[in-house]
Chain A
Amino acid sequence: MLKIKDLHVSVDDQEILKGLSLEVGEGELHAVMGPNGSGKSTLGYTLAGREDYEVTSGSIEFEGEDMVEMEPNERAAAGVFLAFQYPVEIPGVNNAYFLRAALNAQRKARGEEEVDGVNFLKMVRASLTELEMDESLLKRAVNEGFSGGEKKRNEIVQMAVLQPKLAILDETDSGLDIDALKLVADGINRLRDGKRSFVVITHYQRLLDYLTPDKVHVLSDGRIVESGGPELAHRLEAEGYGHLERASA
């Protein structure tokens, strides 16, 4: 599904990712953990194709296709979704309108038929109920005046409606209380159908308690320095990242 080889990424001429390699197979959920400043969010933005995140060398393949030159909207249409760490507010744009415009833009790019208003509402309502979000949210402007937890849950609603092949979740757990955390985890688990792949970027182990990752990777100073099973997350939780920083210093 996703093959990243020796990826180097610079932002404003400063190298952040320094030879990152990662392979995620179909239906797998990988966790990427690491201390602040290790390059976790850069990885998410780079995969989604943010401008200013310049790939200086290495490659990103998605379903066998080179993704580096693709525009962000082309990646979205191909099936890549990034749940933002800080979802962006768009004043005056109705949440439901936004999501339907996005869904139909993707479908159009794939040569599929657009979804009409009635069917769209059905899709969104189901996701809203599952995430225990009020329907009034659809009528509000995108993320405007949402609480931190609502913004994060709204990202999961978007993911559920857009049905990506690969979802990258950037610190979706940060700022959530335990109830919201469980709702978000349930939302992710419902979408695990054996085909969809996930890269879960997180600082803490607590979300992983609900998700049981196939693999856990530790990112430090722009590289993956350690990979293992779920037990690695527990060890990091107990030991902290201190030893990594000492090792790379």
Chain B
Amino acid sequence: MSQTVEQVQGVIQKRYAAGFTTDIESDMMRPGLDEEIVAMISAKKNEPEWMLEWRLKAYRHWLTMPTPNWAHLKIPAIDFQALHYYASPKQKNRPKSLDEVDPKLLETFDRLGVPLHERARLAGVAVDAVFDSVSVGTTFQKELKEAGVIFCSMSEALQEHPELVREYIGSVVPHTDNYFAALNSAVFSDGSFVYLPKDTICPMELSTYFRINARDTGQFERTLIIAEPGSKVSYLEGCTAPMRDENQLHAAVVELVALEKAQIKYSTVQNWYPGDENGKGGIYNFVTKRGDCRGDDSRISWTQVETGSAITWKYPSCIMRGERSAGEFYSVALTHNHQQADTGTKMIHLGKDSTSKIISKGISAGRSNNSYRGLVRVAKKATNVRNYTQCDSLLIGKTCGAHTFPYIEAANASAKVEHEATTSRIGEDQLFYCRSRGLDEEEAVALIVDGFCKEVFKELPMEFAVEAKALLEISLEGSVG
């Protein structure tokens, strides 16, 4: 390798530090999607019969659906028959404890800053680590069990708590919901499962770290969080993938159920590989996330920091079914180079006196396109609904785009729906002011962007707010000048 190539690669590596590959033997199913593959996945996981039938129903429905094309995105056609739907690191037996996990896997998560072994674990955060299609281990299982909290992989939940999974899976996002949700329902491989019994306050942050490693694979995780009346939990997910020239598909479904007076806070720091500066490679992040405020006085809050992926298509939403229930959505979406993002939320008000709040911050740089798409719907019987939406876009440079698509459907006249939107370019004035005080150009941009995102960052758990800030700075490198 010539020195210049090495130098250039060094720079790129710095920009996407999670871009390394783990050299580990993979147990991979043949590519392609058909009923046999669906059955193979289900068999691999030793699933109950009803689960397989549910998957097949979803698969058959998916076959009838057209690919969605309403988003402000240019999505190249995906060859679903060329993908592998299941890949797992080769292990002799399923490890019983983290001590038995392949050291290569532990090392991978170490490098990603998510140490799993006893000594170095993140204090106060329980982590479920998902590598390609399977969970490799969950920390603090014992401590959580003592508190009555179930936190495990979806595969484990299907073995240990099938009745809970059966009751709730698909109850928030049915398999008929949309194209990618149907696909996920057919082929999902792993994900996290959280159950909080009545009046249980989860003693620590729960977190799942998703890692795509294998080539030509899709990752289809399924996460389900159930909060019984009076319980409370804060959950965070992080995601990375190696740098590869081809695009990879990530189509997840996340379902949250909050019963009476329960509270779920769900935060995402999404840093999938965004592709190189010419738009080659990167993850397609097509995700359906929805929370159901099923009980009165329940509350669901989404916070997302989206800096990665070649294409992001994602609308974490809340259904305010209970009276006085509350939904929140805080989002920072940053696009650079050739990245595209169409993201936002849906706030569906069914219950009386329910409230929702949307704070969206879009940052576009390079040749990227960043769209906010948000729906606020008020049902006929939902009286005294309140919504506040604030949607700000920041442009860096002159070749990027920011778009806002707000939809408001109010069927009850007592609803109060507020929408504020601004678009601004990082001002020469602001940059010069910062630089005249001693900050270099990149420090100045990072500072201005950090200020712009403040309202969202303060919603993140402390450790992750720091990480999110650092991530934005790295993602913005080379965006000016």
Q: How near does chain B come to A84, taking the closest CB pair, in angstroms?
A: 7
Contacts of A130 in B (CB 8 A): none
**Scoring A residues 93 to 111 as 1 if CB is less than 8 Å from chain B, else 0, what string do you get?**
1000011011101100100
Contact of A102 with B452 at beta-carbon distance under 8 Å, contacts A87-B433, A88-B430 already known? no
Q: Does more than half of chain B's interface fall in helix, strand or loop, or is it mixed?
A: helix
Going nearest first, the 9 A-B pairs with the smallest beta carbon separation are A92-B451, A93-B451, A92-B454, A102-B437, A106-B438, A88-B433, A76-B438, A72-B435, A105-B438
Residue of A nearest to B429 (CB): A88
The size of the chain B interface, using a CB distance under 8 A, is: 23
**Scoring A residues 112 to 154 as 1 if CB is less than 8 Å from chain B, else 0, what string do you get?**
0000000000000000000000000000011000000000000
Interchain CB contact under 8 A, B438 and A109: yes
**Scoring B residues 409 to 441 as 1 if CB is less than 8 Å from chain A, else 0, what string do you get?**
000000000000000000111101111111111
Q: Which residues of B contact A (CB under 8 A)?
A: 427-430, 432-441, 443, 447-448, 450-455
Interchain CB contact under 8 A, A76 and B433: no
A91 at the interface (CB under 8 A from B): yes
Contact of A76 among B427, B428, B436, B452 (CB under 8 A): B436
Interchain CB contact under 8 A, B440 and A90: no
Interchain CB contact under 8 A, B452 and A105: no
Q: In chain A, residues 207-241, which have Cβ atoms closer than 8 Å to a Cβ of chain B?
A: none
A184 at the interface (CB under 8 A from B): no
Interchain CB contact under 8 A, B439 and A93: no
Q: Which residues of A contact B (CB under 8 A)?
A: 48-52, 71-73, 75-77, 81-82, 84, 87-93, 98-99, 101-103, 105-106, 109, 141-142, 158, 162
Contacts of B437 in A (CB 8 A): 73, 76, 98-99, 102, 105-106, 158, 162
Q: Supply 18 further A-B pairs (C-beta < 8 A) apart from A73-B439, A90-B430, A101-B447.
A: A51-B428, A73-B440, A76-B435, A76-B437, A81-B436, A84-B433, A87-B433, A88-B429, A90-B433, A90-B434, A90-B451, A91-B451, A92-B451, A93-B448, A93-B450, A102-B438, A105-B443, A109-B438
Interface-central residue, B427, B429, B436, B450, by most chain A CB under 10 Å: B436
- Complex Cα gap A84–B429 (Å): 11
- Complex Cα gap A249–B440 (Å): 42
Residue of A nearest to B443 (CB): A105
Residue of A nearest to B440 (CB): A73
- Complex Cα gap A92–B472 (Å): 15
Interchain CB contact under 8 A, A92 and B443: no
Enumerate 29 A-B pairs (CB-CB under 8 Å) in ascending A order: A48-B436, A49-B435, A51-B428, A52-B428, A73-B435, A73-B438, A73-B441, A84-B433, A87-B433, A88-B427, A88-B430, A88-B432, A90-B430, A91-B452, A92-B453, A93-B450, A98-B437, A101-B443, A102-B437, A102-B439, A103-B438, A105-B437, A105-B439, A105-B440, A106-B437, A109-B438, A141-B451, A158-B437, A162-B438
- Complex Cα gap A162–B70 (Å): 53
Interchain CB contact under 8 A, B427 and A71: no
Interface-central residue, B428, B434, B455, by most chain A CB under 10 Å: B434
Contacts of B433 in A (CB 8 A): 84, 87-88, 90
Contacts of A71 in B (CB 8 A): 435, 440
Contact of B447 among A51, A73, A90 (CB under 8 A): A90
